Chains A and B, each alone.
Chain A
Amino acid sequence: MTLDEALLDAHARDDRAQLVALYTKAADQAATTDATCFFLTQAYVFALETGDPATPVLFNRLKDYGRV
């Protein structure tokens, strides 16, 4: 399953913990700063909503890019 397919599957199952993980992975693989921040934002929002322990890490990564 590709990352895109995995993301679609996680959305379909409304698996928010998995969405945090997959969007973080997408951010790590992105080629540009904007793409990275787009995926980090997606991961951060689902983490924020669910109280995921990754929330402060994701926030700080966005903050380092000046994107919060």
Chain B
Amino acid sequence: MAKDVDLNILQTVRRPIETANGLPNAHYTDPDMYKREAQSVLMSAWAGLAVTDDVPQIGDAKPVEFLGIPLLLVRDRTDQVRVFQNVCRHRGMILVSEAKKIEGAIRCPYHSWCYGTDGKLVSTPHVGGPGHNSHDAIDKSLFGLIEVRSHIWLNTVFINVDGTADPFEKVHADLIARWSEFDQTMYHGGVGSRFTLKVKTNWKLAVENYCESYHLPWVHPGLNAYSRLEDHYNIIEPGKFSGQGTYVYRQLTGDDGTVFPDFGGLDQKWDTGAEYLTVYPNVLLGVQRDHAFVIVLEPVSHDVTHEHVHIYYAAPDTDAALRDRNSAQWKEIFEEDIFVVEGMQKGRFAPGFDGGRFSPTMDGPTHCFHEWVASRLSAYDAG
């Protein structure tokens, strides 16, 4: 019965925008719904986990959690970034508890089973008794680390936890084509170009707010001077991605006229254009002629989200002071959004709120996201 009711509610979300409601309160306030969405929306899709610059050098390993799953981000000996479950195949001990450089092998701190950075089990000390390092029952080739399916795009590490998604290149073919000009070497701006905002909100509200430009004149009045509401356009690709673009991107300029170098080979439209898209479910991306940013939303619980922000440039040696100004500028804008996403989270406890209605003109990107979430939930329940 409950499932029937849920399906009816989800059908109202999936109506045309003129008559659709947003996702009901439970999708933001109910820990059980959060777990259900974790399975049907986050683990079954290509979710953002990290950026490759979290493990910049060969041998770097960083433990990360995703939806409570202990994972290990590793840059292996062939310079490939990989994701493993961060547990020993022996007794399930956590292998790596803090970011470190793997000089040789990953050694379990419990019984010292050792793994290569490629995940292969390479040593099982004393497994056949003291000084006997093999046993017929333990075939090393069968007990390598459990690798999580991953894909790198625009320096972002995407994972498909349950292994059921179509290949990333297929799922996001339109998006990859749309931004093909930006699929080039980008350089992380360094320590000052990464920051994390810890927000008391459901991860979806961070997506919803990012997708649309409707709120800009009210929440980011500082943008009005040069980037007015009418300078923006909606990007809506049902079932795929959504966001917004602007026609009036203006480069940050230092006191001495310094600007960041441009990415190579961009079309003229990017001289003053910029786009901001959500790669469903949880990666927010922005591209401009001279820098890009990645925001990986880490869902911590039904009402807590950590936003990991990384800013990238076209060259490795950009002006440090200008980078700091750029970081400060973006941080100010992203912090201006916090009261909104936290306010909407609190608002979801109002029992009379029915998910709300959308402006057919302005809220298309948000509705597109809701429709995608509802379709994933429906497919999961049906399947």
Binding site for B on A (CB under 8 A): 33-38, 40-42, 44-45, 47-52, 55, 62, 65, 67-68
Contacts and interface: CB of A to CB of B under 8 A. Distances in A.
Interface in B100-148: 103-107, 112, 114, 122-123, 125-126, 130-134
Contacts of A49: 103-107, 114
Contacts of B103: 49-51
B75 to A, nearest CB: 15
Nearest to B101: A51
A67 B132 contact: yes
A50 to B, nearest CB: 5
Contact of A52 (B104, B106, B122, B126): B104
Between A34, A41, A44, A55, the greatest number of chain B beta carbons within 10 A of the residue's beta carbon is seen for A41
Nearest to B111: A45
B112 A45 contact: yes
Contacts of B133: 41, 62, 67-68
Contact of A45 (B123, B130, B134): B123
Given A48-B114, A49-B114, A41 B107 contact: no
Given A67-B133, A68-B133, A68-B134, A48 B107 contact: yes
Contacts of A41: 125-126, 131, 133
24 contacts: A33-B131, A34-B130, A37-B131, A37-B132, A38-B126, A38-B130, A41-B125, A42-B125, A44-B123, A44-B125, A45-B123, A47-B104, A48-B105, A48-B107, A48-B122, A48-B123, A49-B103, A49-B106, A49-B114, A50-B103, A51-B103, A51-B104, A67-B134, A68-B133
Nearest to A38: B131
Between A40, A44, A67, the greatest number of chain B beta carbons within 10 A of the residue's beta carbon is seen for A67
A49 B104 CA distance: 5
A59 B48 CA distance: 40
A35 B112 CA distance: 18
A55 B130 contact: no
Contacts of B105: 48-49, 51
Contacts of B126: 38, 41
B59 to A, nearest CB: 8
A44 B107 CA distance: 12
List the 5 shortest-distance A-B pairs measured between CB atoms, nearest first.
Answer: A37-B131, A51-B104, A51-B103, A38-B131, A49-B107
A53 to B, nearest CB: 10
Given A41-B125, A45-B112, A45-B123, A67 B131 contact: yes
Given A50-B103, A52-B104, A55-B104, A45 B125 contact: yes
A36 B130 CA distance: 10
Given A45-B114, A51-B104, A65-B131, 10 more contacts: A34-B130, A38-B126, A41-B126, A45-B107, A45-B112, A45-B123, A48-B107, A52-B104, A62-B133, A67-B133
Contacts of B122: 48
Contact of A50 (B104, B123, B125, B132): B104
Nearest to B107: A49
A62 B122 CA distance: 14
A66 B132 CA distance: 8
Contacts of B123: 44-45, 48
B131 A34 contact: yes
Nearest to A37: B131
A60 to B, nearest CB: 13
Interface string B71-113: 0000000000000000000000000000000011111000010
B118 to A, nearest CB: 14
A67 B132 CA distance: 5
A34 B105 CA distance: 25
Nearest to A47: B104
Contact of A35 (B106, B114, B131, B132): B131
B131 to A, nearest CB: 3
A40 B131 contact: yes
A52 B114 CA distance: 14
A47 B104 CA distance: 8
B265 to A, nearest CB: 40
Nearest to B134: A68
Contacts of B114: 45, 48-49
